[in-house]
Amino acid sequence: MPSKKEGKKVIWPFYFNIHLKRSGGRRVPKSLAVEDPKLEEIARAVKTLGFEYEVDYEAKYPAYWWRDSGRVMVKTPMKKEELLKKVAEIIKNNRSD
């Protein structure tokens, strides 16, 4: 797992899932959440923002360890909540096109 010293933020698809409550793992407002967020969508959004990133397809979100999910690790000085909102906006806009 990346350390905070490396400046990497971990993003899980569950953070954007409209079907989850905040207590269930969703980290963005429902207005920015989407149905069944994909790892590739998150990676594409991070790439659009111009940050270095790494996709880990084998990782499992600790709260849902039995489900395959993967994660995206982003190198950025940006605060995590701000990053998540920007990524969510890009995903939402890409889906509405």
96 in a domain, yes or no?
Answer: no
Closest CA to 13 of 31, 29, 26, 32: 26
* DSSP assignment of the chain: ---GGGTEEEE-GGGGBTTS-GGGT--S-TTT-BSS--HHHHHHHHHHHT-EEEEETT---GGGTTS---EEEEE-SS-HHHHHHHHHHHHHHHHH-
Host domain of residue 69: 4-91
Residues of the chain with pLDDT below 70 are 1-6, 97
Residue 7 confidence (pLDDT):
73
44 in a domain, yes or no?
Answer: yes
Which letter does DSSP use for residue 93 in this model? H
Q: CATH number of the domain at 73, please.
A: 3.30.56.30
Residue 6 confidence (pLDDT):
66
Is the pTM here over 0.85, yes or no?
Answer: yes
81 in a domain, yes or no?
Answer: yes
Number of compact structural domains in the chain: 1
Residue 2 confidence (pLDDT):
47
36 in a domain, yes or no?
Answer: yes
